[in-house]
Structure 1
Amino acid sequence: MDWLRLLFCAVLVQLCAAGNETRSTFTYEMVAKCKEHICKHGYKYETFYKIDAEDREHVISDASVALEMHIAILAANNGHILLSTKANPTVTDPVYEIVVGGGSNKFTELRRNLRRNGKISKPTVGILSAIEFRPFFIRITTDGAVQFGKEGEEPLLDYRDNNHLAIRYFSFAAWNGVEAKFCYDCPPKGTNSSTTNSEAVDPLMSNADKLKAALLQDRAPHLPPASPVTIRLGFKITSLKYSPFTSKMVTGVAIVASWVDDSMAWNPDKFNNITKLTFSDGQIWRPTFFLFNSEDQGSVDIDNPGPITMVNSGEATYYFQTHLTSWCFNYAKTTNNWPHDDYHCSIVIAPWEPHEKITLEQISHADEKMAIFAESNKVIPNEWSIEWKQGVVEPSAWHTIFTANDNDTNQSDRFLVNIALRRRATAFNVVFYTPLLVLVLFVLMSFWSEPLQMSRVWFYAGSTVVICVGLCYVDYLVPIHTVPTILVLYITVMGGVLLALLLQVLLMTPTAERLCQTHSVQSLLRSSMFRILFFLPPVKSAENYDRINEAYSGEEDEVTPPRNGNIPEMETETPTPSERDEVAAALDWFLFLVYSLVIAVMLAMHF
């Protein structure tokens, strides 16, 4: 078995060695013999190269070969090669387009038109590399054979075109988000002279492109046009979301920035009456901002940045949208009136570059530059009603507010937006206040029911359990940075219910009965003022003055016989309330009065 293992390892080593011999490599010495093209703008053929036909005839020795190219590609995937009869072909023009490593580096395809009409495709997983150059060849014969493959190997793609093209131009492209580097006009392996000699073709430029090229010549795009530079800033809130649990506010905003660059002004009469140009982000300077009270200290991220528009007077306008996440909290208060809570938050926007001195001016909502946001960016309604004001804070005023910051470095203005938030609490009112009001109502009604009954004890106990269960889950809904007064209401009601439960149970004990028969309690119960105040019936006279409401024990009165001797007279006796019953009735009236006043005052303070 050991000799089989050794034999297998020897065969494996030989295979690896053979693979390394046949694998085409492209060293940096070979790169130095080529020309280079870099693609950074996605699937777009920007620069075309013209092939020198006369020079090619002297290099190619094989008369059957109409075109032979040796190239190398450094890309993660999607290296696109375009061969055409003219520069800047359209989608209807016949071309050869070779897609190398398409579909995330999984296939290679030959197309007969731009982006369509594929003729032959092969699976080629891992054909390109993002860390090393991969060499390839392209060969087109006079009889219409179009071949593409790895350098030193058999063609991967071999297509016979009966109506073959006379190639005079070629170009390169990549894919969106992919940066590709192409080496072209490379010599074949083992030689020093290339089979092609090409030159870049001047791109077709419109009058606007020529004007832009003239304005951007020898211009640093990262430097502001002046110091200080005045920027007119328009601000509109398009959405807002606030979380009381994290004290963070996410605000969707639409912003327009406008400034004047005198060095970019031009005379329309000299440039075919062109009065407006558009520049992409990075071609010219634009202001960059950051959020002062943000959760991070990076510059403001722009959602879907648009072009910078400039008119012939040099006035530039830049529209963009973004989402600002800012802190918003106030620990000065210990309570809040949630769910009718309100917050006062601020958004402070400042220039990002400290060396740029920027003066800000506010653009009103009635300005024509803000008209672009009139319909497309309506405020999305949610649980918060908002009111906001905006203004500019000068450096001198800012320095007096934030004295601890390094205010000598950044001398620019700040843009301040004050926002007042108030919760639309309709749903919360139904969920939280309805059970509270129903519970309060039944507790107050219980004081008018028959005292010293177990039914009332069970009612109080059940109410306590319900409130406790609700308070166990309410912390998932209620922010607890400060104490919501609605929790104070619930806890107060629960405390009142527990107090009523305790008093009810104590009055039902024999100790309470003996206490009610003491001389002090009897004296209090005989007081006419006490009985009037607590709506007790008048006290009855009794021979035993130590007890009240005792049945009269004098001589029996003369009984009047009934009118009809055959029908016995029905006599009803009203039960006489005991001292404990009267104390319980007086206590119920007292608790009803106190509870009503306390709950009414707390509700008024809450709202």
Structure 2
Amino acid sequence: MNQILIILFWFGAVKALDVVSNFTYDKEMAAKCKQHICRNGYIYDNYYRIENNVWKPSDPNVSFEMHIAIQAASNGHILLSPVEHAGFSDPVYEIVVGGGGNTFTELRRNLRRNAKASAKTLGILSNAELRGFYIKITKDGQLEFGREGELLPIISIYDVDPLDINYFSFASWTGVDARFLYDCPAPGIEGKTQNSTEVDKSSISDKLKRKILLSRFPSLPPAQNMSVEVGTILISARYDSFDAKLITDLAFVTSWKDKNAAWDPDQYNGTTRLNFRQTQIWRPTFLVYNANTLDPLDANNAGLITMDYSGENIFHFRTKVESWCVVDDTTSLNKWPMDSYDCIVVIRPFQVHELINLKLLKPTDVKMKFYTDIDIKVRNEWETTATSLVFSSKQWLKLHNTTVNDVTESDVLVIYVTMQRKAVALNMAIYTPLVVLVTFVLMSFWTESLTMTRVWFYAGCAATISFGLCYIEYIMPCHNVPSLLILYVTVLGGILIALLLQVILMTSLVKAMCETQPMQNLLTSSVFRKVFLLAPMTTVTKNYDTLNEGFSYDGEDEAQVSPRSANIEEMVADACAEKTNFGDSVELAEAFDKLFFFVYSMVFAVLLALHF
């Protein structure tokens, strides 16, 4: 029991001592201070500049004195710096109060590193009270941090090269909200130790931007007559044959100069370049004159306008352009899928009241080279080349008659696009079935005639081509007839003719017609057979003198068979000749096969040559 009482006594004594040692600010004292609240974690985002020391310390050896109060669960960070927005390598004093979950206090010589002194301070901060602290730096380099009302500091270091403190800032820890009171007077003394003002967060470039944008309207050009350099890069292009449209992805590089926006870099800490949003300053806008809509070109990328100290502006953007491209319809055939097109894209300034003189940027220009690696050309089924030309308003009016409402004094940019389709996969998918079908059809003319097998073969080929034509209709151009379609239709027609003839030759009417005397004379004539490469007719003769050759008789005995000396191959040939029926429907069908083979070969060869 006595041990418990002793423990309780010491615990109460320690708590009483802790209450006495922690100096707490009341409302009256807090009203004499300025306040800063940290909610962004371990970030020194607000800096305060020490303007002048209005309080004279009692000790003349003290060069810097600061009285603050902190209310936080842990991690009250104080930064003392000679410069604003101190970096990782800048020499500073950083004091961490209640770090490690409110267990220690540490003094560092650099930001987040180089600790010089540390002390265990369990419960030094409170989330419910404003606890006061002081910071003192003597002229000889002694730095002290301690509680208000205590003579002995919590941590103290001696710096042989003390820093001149011009700025201070506060921070906390992630998830910890901290409240700081600063510019507070010393307890029991009237007047402040120092007076500070918050540093403007805006950088030098922000101040320069505000100066340039002052009294400037983004919708108005800097001058009445603007000279704009423009360069174009063709990223990709394709032709929509159904709508007769050219669809291109273009990259533009525009450059213009605003002399009123120039500045001296020496007066702005060496700033030589600024970036503006597209809506902050004026930039030239364009439209596609030969498109179905007259809306301004929409930049796909949210790029920035770059301005250098001479007032020169550069803006790079990408856009998708759809323009009409009506092909020459004087010819009814084209070479699809190996077709080519010549199209133009007419681009002019969007605002009619603006007077813009265009000048082309060469591909070797430094401004264009900078974006060449960014705007990589996309490879697709089209091989494209683009050439740009600038026409004055007078030249354009001579080339293109327009209404008075569309007259503009600005120059016009015309992009000539030449396209050649080089779709290897499409060519293989389209030409391979054609070549295979033509080859098999020609080979069928050298197979056995008047059989149902060939009839079914021709029917299958016709069905295959018909299905292919139904599908190819959705991808071929509609403004004229591709010569490839003529090829497929010709092959289909030839197959149907061969199929019809094959069926007709198998009828009994043709067989009866072949037995007539005129047809027999034609089919058995030597000229006809030589022209159509038919088998020559042979005359069968028999040698009766050698009929009993190979037999011998011996008196009255029976006949004895001796080995034959006759020509067996000749007898076989004679037997085959006896079985050949010259002048029948089979030979007529064979003659038609030879004729069709020759005619089809010539027609297909001529059509392929004309197509390519």
Does residue 560 (structure 1) correspond to residue 546 (structure 2)? The answer is: yes
> Do the aligned partners of 1:248 and 1:327 also contact (CA within 8 Å) in 2?
yes
1:220 CA displacement: 2.5
Counterpart pick for 1:446 among 416, 434, 444: 444
User: Could you tell me how far apart the structure 2 residues matched to 1:559 and 1:406 are?
Assistant: 113
Instruction: For residue 165 of structure 1, give the secondary structure of its aligned residue in structure 2.
Output: strand
1:557 CA displacement: 6.0
1:329 CA displacement: 4.2
Larger Rg: 2
| Matched ranges for 1:30-49 at <5 A | none
Structure 2 residue identity aligned to 1:499: I
User: Could you tell me how far apart the structure 1 residues matched to 2:534 and 2:277 are?
Assistant: 90
User: Could you tell me how far apart the structure 2 residues matched to 1:348 and 1:88 are?
Assistant: 55
Where does residue 334 of structure 1 map in the other structure?
332
User: Could you tell me how far apart the structure 2 residues matched to 1:356 and 1:505 are?
Assistant: 77
User: Could you tell me how far apart the structure 1 residues matched to 2:456 and 2:514 are?
Assistant: 24
Q: Deviations over 1:480-536 (max 9, x none)?
A: 443333222222111101101111111222222333344544454465544332223
Instruction: For residue 414 of structure 2, give the secondary structure of its aligned residue in structure 1.
Output: strand
| Matched ranges for 1:10-21 at <5 A | none
Where does residue 144 of structure 2 map in the other structure?
none
User: Could you tell me how far apart the structure 1 residues matched to 2:506 and 2:584 are?
Assistant: 12
> Do the aligned partners of 2:537 and 2:582 also contact (CA within 8 Å) in 1?
no
Where does residue 80 of structure 2 map in the other structure?
none
| Pair 1:600–1:406, CA change in 2 (3 A) | farther
User: Could you tell me how far apart the structure 2 residues matched to 1:165 and 1:230 are?
Assistant: 56
| Pair 1:209–1:463, CA change in 2 (3 A) | closer
Q: Please, which runs of 5 or more residues in structure 1 have no aligned partner?
A: 1-61, 68-82, 96-111, 114-140, 145-160, 169-199, 542-550
| Matched ranges for 1:117-132 at <5 A | none
Where does residue 403 of structure 1 map in the other structure?
401
User: Could you tell me how far apart the structure 1 residues matched to 2:35 and 2:420 are?
Assistant: 65
User: Could you tell me how far apart the structure 2 residues matched to 1:87 and 1:308 are?
Assistant: 35
> Do the aligned partners of 1:452 and 1:507 also contact (CA within 8 Å) in 2?
yes
| Matched ranges for 1:206-355 at <5 A | 206-268=203-265, 273-330=270-327, 332=329, 333-355=331-353
User: Could you tell me how far apart the structure 2 residues matched to 1:264 and 1:271 are?
Assistant: 14
1:227 CA displacement: 3.0
User: Could you tell me how far apart the structure 2 residues matched to 1:238 and 1:474 are?
Assistant: 29
> Do the aligned partners of 1:303 and 1:322 also contact (CA within 8 Å) in 2?
yes
User: Could you tell me how far apart the structure 2 residues matched to 1:251 and 1:91 are?
Assistant: 50
| Pair 1:318–1:469, CA change in 2 (3 A) | closer
Instruction: For residue 164 of structure 1, give the secondary structure of its aligned residue in structure 2.
Output: strand
| Pair 1:86–1:209, CA change in 2 (3 A) | farther
Does residue 469 (structure 1) correspond to residue 487 (structure 2)? The answer is: no
| Pair 1:274–1:453, CA change in 2 (3 A) | closer
User: Could you tell me how far apart the structure 2 residues matched to 1:508 and 1:529 are?
Assistant: 25
TM-score, with normalisation over the residues of structure 2?
A: 0.62
Does residue 582 (structure 1) correspond to residue 587 (structure 2)? The answer is: yes
Q: Deviations over 1:405-424 (max 9, x none)?
A: 44653221121222222223
| Pair 1:368–1:163, CA change in 2 (3 A) | closer
Instruction: For residue 180 of structure 2, give the secondary structure of its aligned residue in structure 1.
Output: coil
How large is the Cα RMSD of the aligned pairs? 4.0
Structure 2 residue identity aligned to 1:533: V
User: Could you tell me how far apart the structure 2 residues matched to 1:237 and 1:331 are?
Assistant: 23
Where does residue 43 of structure 2 map in the other structure?
92
User: Could you tell me how far apart the structure 2 residues matched to 1:529 and 1:254 are?
Assistant: 73
> Do the aligned partners of 1:247 and 1:329 also contact (CA within 8 Å) in 2?
yes
User: Could you tell me how far apart the structure 2 residues matched to 1:470 and 1:390 are?
Assistant: 41
Structure 2 residue identity aligned to 1:291: V
Counterpart pick for 1:164 among 172, 179, 193: 179
User: Could you tell me how far apart the structure 1 residues matched to 2:335 and 2:350 are?
Assistant: 38
Instruction: For residue 533 of structure 2, give the secondary structure of its aligned residue in structure 1.
Output: coil
| Pair 1:537–1:364, CA change in 2 (3 A) | same
User: Could you tell me how far apart the structure 1 residues matched to 2:270 and 2:254 are?
Assistant: 26
Number of residue pairs matched?
436
Instruction: For residue 363 of structure 2, give the secondary structure of its aligned residue in structure 1.
Output: coil
Structure 2 residue identity aligned to 1:383: E
| Pair 1:403–1:167, CA change in 2 (3 A) | farther
TM-score, with normalisation over the residues of structure 1?
A: 0.63
1:350 CA displacement: 1.4
Instruction: For residue 230 of structure 2, give the secondary structure of its aligned residue in structure 1.
Output: strand
Q: Deviations over 1:343-394 (max 9, x none)?
A: 3332222111111111111101111001222322211222222222122122
User: Could you tell me how far apart the structure 2 residues matched to 1:395 and 1:472 are?
Assistant: 49
| Pair 1:576–1:480, CA change in 2 (3 A) | same
Does residue 573 (structure 1) correspond to residue 576 (structure 2)? The answer is: yes
Where does residue 118 of structure 1 map in the other structure?
none
| Pair 1:84–1:532, CA change in 2 (3 A) | farther
> Do the aligned partners of 2:38 and 2:178 also contact (CA within 8 Å) in 1?
no
| Pair 1:347–1:573, CA change in 2 (3 A) | same
1:313 CA displacement: 2.9
Structure 2 residue identity aligned to 1:85: H
Where does residue 379 of structure 1 map in the other structure?
377
> Do the aligned partners of 1:66 and 1:142 also contact (CA within 8 Å) in 2?
no
Overall identity of the aligned pairs, in %: 38
Structure 2 residue identity aligned to 1:346: I
Structure 2 residue identity aligned to 1:164: R
1:207 CA displacement: 4.2
User: Could you tell me how far apart the structure 2 residues matched to 1:268 and 1:403 are?
Assistant: 49
Structure 1 residue identity aligned to 2:219: H
Instruction: For residue 512 of structure 2, give the secondary structure of its aligned residue in structure 1.
Output: helix
Q: Deviations over 1:193-250 (max 9, x none)?
A: xxxxxxx999455444444434333333221122331111011123344444444444
> Do the aligned partners of 1:227 and 1:356 also contact (CA within 8 Å) in 2?
yes
| Pair 1:86–1:558, CA change in 2 (3 A) | closer
Q: Please, which runs of 5 or more residues in structure 2 have no aligned partner?
A: 1-25, 47-74, 77-126, 131-175, 184-196, 552-560
| Matched ranges for 1:127-138 at <5 A | none
Structure 1 residue identity aligned to 2:470: C
| Pair 1:88–1:408, CA change in 2 (3 A) | farther
1:260 CA displacement: 1.9
Report which stretch shifted further, 525-534 or 501-510. Answer: 525-534
Where does residue 592 of structure 1 map in the other structure?
597
User: Could you tell me how far apart the structure 1 residues matched to 2:349 and 2:29 are?
Assistant: 61
